[in-house]
Structure 1
Amino acid sequence: MDGVEMRSTIRLVVKALVICSLFSVTLVFAQDKQDKQGSRNAEVINVAVAANFAAPLKAYAEQFSRITGIEVNVTVASSGTLFAQIQHGAKFDVFLSADTARPQALIDAGKVHKDNMYQYAQGQLAFVYASDISPHIDAKPHKEEPYKEESIYLYKLVKQVTTTGSGKLAVANPLLAPYGEAAKNTLTHLDIWDEVQPSLVVGKNILQAYQYFTTGGVKGAFIAYSSVNIDSTVNTSIPNIHVIRVPEAFYQPITQALVINSNSKAVITPNVFNTLDTSDTKGVEHLTELTILPSHLFVQYLLSDAVQSSLPRWGYKRSVSAKASNEKASSTKSSEPT
């Protein structure tokens, strides 16, 4: 083989090696991307939620899973029951309570980081009753005594419920469920709490209190407004049913807060979902490359503008703190130099 043929052969070998090298790098990159996607899809979050928020939480969890590929396991019980389980070592990544007291108690006990509590919704109390005795009326506020007429009307309804048929009234356990505590607040405001004690049927959570009513076991119940707001059967399963929203002045605010169950500070801002176009495949794929923990990402989703603005459809008010946080993040971003 002469020198010319030798040089030609070397060039061919070099080209072949370069092509193989590039092909190998491409395969490695593709496999790495696939591994990241597979790893993200294999991730699972365990979430505990207060009974009143179970329906919207499950819907939001499904949306989140479709967007991110991260599976969400949901456990439903009263806030008090879930709180006790966490205290005894239950491994929930996120706990959505129906109050702020229990999440704060976990912080005070040193079980979670002090900055890992976030308000996610404002709850509303409702009273449902099935009776042919009193027609539903819309009372107007009294100028001298705000909510005087509402107080009289609700007082009369409770009296009628507790003296008609079974004479039973359902509430959630005030010691375990914040909506049960709100019901107690309301009955105390009406100065009838002690009087109705013999008539009370106490559910372990707000869903059970509602079930007592829908199955006909009681003539009236204090429940989460969200329960009747999303239950399309409530107006047909029981004859002569009426629903009234209890004035918020009758009970302590039902501010619902969550905690991320970790002693490390969670990464919640900036909220990636506020700038994410879920119809953009590339944008959604970008989530698989983020180093944010799945539980942090899930909380970001719950606090995002899209989720918060949808809460009224479920019978809740959006969280004031979530709105303020999102506005602050947006303001900070807009003030950054370009």
Structure 2
Amino acid sequence: MRLTSVILGLAAFAGASPSKILEARQSVGDGPFGPAGFQTHASLPRHTIYRPNNAAAAGAMPVFIWGNGACSGDGTSARNFLAQIASYGFLVVSQGVPGGGGSTTIDQMREAVTWAANGAGGAFNVDRTKIMTAGYSCGGTEAYAFIDDARVSSIGIYNSGMLGNYDQAKTIRKPVIIALGGPSDIAYPNGERDYNNIPASTPTWKGNLNRVGHGGTYGEANGGLYAKATYKWLQWQFKGDQSAGAYFVGNAALSDGWNNITSKSINVGGTTPGNPPPTTTNPPTTPPPSTNCAGLYGQCGGSGWSGPTCCSQGTCRASNQWYSQCL
């Protein structure tokens, strides 16, 4: 069922544009197969591909497909975050080309899923059975479109949540990781509501990082804690790494600074997490009406939106019919 409402080897390959070396102030990943570089490839021309320098040692790589904040067409807008994930032995595909403009679409993400499932154009050693879609803010709504796609095995929702037809979260059966920025995150009520709606039998982990709000840690060195949780999730889900999975059941995430951690149906080596008690208030079903203007990166419009429609910083720009954001 398709959703009806949804919110860097540095060597070049045959048919590829030269890999771009990140500037010194930017991160290239500190994983065992890094550093990482990014490039474009003729077989997937509307996307940016991140791969580890030592891809040969990584073997067949699971594929992580990413939707950018504001559904941006810049495939390098989250490069610190994406390079870090790639350096741990994953092929990362971002919506849009390096430095690109405009907006991306669900169909564009579907191109990447099909490409990965068909063997990545024969240019990259991928495990076509291990694909995850994920995204930030508007990009998260793109990732949600694949909850019923059998080719996709896991979903990642970052500072995002469904913007309508909320009951669709009740149909999710594949593992989900949700990362939010606490109550100051404009997407906090959406993500919290989605977590509550996901079936108890669906392996799901949710953590908040209250200090970051809606901005996440994408631009921090090596992508910050969002990248750490993501590559550990991928190591566990797609490579069977129980030590990585332990991050989601022990105290490591809490010690790292994550807040309000909770999960359902998470079992790692027979260990289940001791979840904190639920919060006493449930997030609202829809964003509350407001006469205030949204801040930078906040939502300012879209089908069914009843919150602010002006911006205290930036300009309200439509990413799709369901989501407009202050940029």
**Interval of TM-score (by shorter of Structure 1 and Structure 2):** under 0.3
Between structure 1 and structure 2, the one with the greater Rg is: 1
Q: What TM-score do the two structures reach when normalised by structure 2?
A: 0.27
Q: Judging by fraction of residues, say which structure has more helix.
A: 1
Say which structure is richer in strand. 2
Specify which structure has the bigger relative contact order, considering alpha-carbon pairs within 8 angstroms and separated by 6 or more residues: 1
TM-score w.r.t. the length of structure 1 is 0.26
